[in-house]
Structure 1
Amino acid sequence: MSASSPEANTRLAGIDARLYLVTDSAQCREAGRSVADTVREAVGGGVGIVQVRDKDIDDDAFYTLTREVIAAVDSVLVDTNRRVPIVLNDRVAVAQRLLAEGVEVHIHVGQSDTPVEEVRELIGPEPLLGLSAANSTEFAAARESGVVDLVGIGPVYDTTTKTDAPDGIGPDRLGELVGEAGLPAVAIGGISTDRAAELRGRGLLGICVVSAICRAEDPRAAAEELLAEFGDGLAEAAQ
């Protein structure tokens, strides 16, 4: 069994992680939509995980934004059996507030954010915890922590979404890193519709996108096209 297979982490059971949207408020505004409207259309098109990310607003505004995203996702999931996790980028205090209110949310952190062991203590055992990781040392630390459910690896391609992002590692190196990770993995960084097919067969649980959906003229169609190009993810890897 691959370490990146869904069976390797039963906490991911029931989640279609093939397409993971990370929101960008500025890009959504530039496209003439709210984040919630973008998310609603994207989930309708097949996005299976939504990470709320906005480094430019305070916790109260981020709480409001997250509530809007949750409502948007819930409106799509009515009368379906789909499970689409809402993941908060780093905002541990906001996650604690929502969890205390009985709202199911999850967390993703980077290497320079709150340490994962501390995050787990603060949010409890139930929420999923994702971590950005890029090398053997970071993968080993993630595994040894015993609290990380999912790693994000990248950037795969050069990206302008994060101004401090390093150069893209490319699909082949990505595949090597997924093999080293020993945890379920998703790829991020510069992934577009015309590049998604290059990531088939790399052992990934899924691909993360930002501008490919946030800047898209039609987020629903963009999600559908990305899924069509990426294919069945791990099934492709097994062929």
Structure 2
Amino acid sequence: MSAALDRLAGIDTRLYLVTDSAQCAEAGRTVAETVRSAVAGGVGIVQVRDKDIDDTEFLVLTREVVAAVAEAVAGTDRRVPVFLNDRVAVAGRLREEGTDVHIHVGQSDTPVAEVRALLGDAPLVGLSAAEDAEFAAARATGAVDLVGIGPVFDTTTKADAPAGIGPDRLGELVSQAGLPAVAIGGIDATRVPDLRGLGLIGVCVVSAICRAADPELAAAELLAAYGDGGAV
């Protein structure tokens, strides 16, 4: 795991925001406005996710998010990577333009070995995984920098999401992963303390920030609840 952790050096991985365009709109903000505020509040990783728009629209959205992150961290030495959810072609185009973006894929998306072949060694690659065979396959590729495990709690963000696995099972999976792991699914400030000390490098949230009245305050409250996350 040490090599993967080395690639995450300089990133505050404790709070990872996955965007939801519809939730941001319901809250009266654009995705970029939400991201700018959330990063100002302490979000350390952003993943752009929108399954309902085409690649052209996604490219525009990602450029807006990258600009929002840059604005939020201006004048600091913070490194806040922007991941794209499964849009490998969009990631490739942005990287060719000199924009430093990264990629996250699920088990049914572009295989991580193919992602590496297409994008090269530089970008970080995240993978959703939830069982030992998936972790073993991820380790074998040598292409995965971090895994997302969940849903930890029941969630309505994804219509087809299975029932939450709970903190105890999460802890077991983190110990099996052998890769830096973040938790996702139904996580809010009241539940974050239950995830401390499980070996995670951080927690992912969607609605806890996208639906928040004040994303900056919501991010700060989540970080305060998580603290240092306990020992990794």
Q: TM-score, normalised by structure 1?
A: 0.95
What number of residue pairs does the alignment pair up? 232
Moved over 6 A (4+): none
> 2:188 is matched with which residue?
192
> 1:80 is matched with which residue?
76
- Aligned-partner residue type, residue 204 of structure 1: L
Cα shift readout 1:68-108 (whole Å, capped 9, x = no counterpart): 00110101111100000000000000000000001100000
| Residues 106-145 of structure 1: pairs in structure 2 closer than 5 A | 106-145=102-141
- Aligned-partner residue type, residue 225 of structure 2: E
> 2:205 is matched with which residue?
209
| Counterparts of 1:27 and 1:60, CA distance in 2 | 21
- Aligned-partner residue type, residue 131 of structure 1: L
Pair 1:237 & 2:231 matched: yes
- Aligned-partner residue type, residue 237 of structure 1: A
Cα shift readout 1:9-35 (whole Å, capped 9, x = no counterpart): 211000000000000000000000000
Contact 1:87 1:105 in 2 (8 A): yes
Contact 2:4 2:145 in 1 (8 A): no
| Residues 1-239 of structure 1: pairs in structure 2 closer than 5 A | 3=1, 9-233=5-229, 236-237=230-231
Contact 2:19 2:46 in 1 (8 A): yes
Partner SS state of residue 9, structure 1: helix
Stretches of structure 2 lacking an aligned partner (at least 5 in a row): none
Contact 2:4 2:146 in 1 (8 A): no
Partner SS state of residue 156, structure 2: coil
Q: TM-score, normalised by structure 2?
A: 0.98
Q: For the aligned residues, what is the CA RMSD? A: 1.0
Structure 1 residue 8: Cα displacement: 5.1
- Aligned-partner residue type, residue 51 of structure 1: Q
Partner SS state of residue 153, structure 2: coil
Structure 1 residue 231: Cα displacement: 1.0
| Counterparts of 1:8 and 1:139, CA distance in 2 | 14
The sequence identity of aligned pairs, in percent, is: 72
Stretches of structure 1 lacking an aligned partner (at least 5 in a row): none
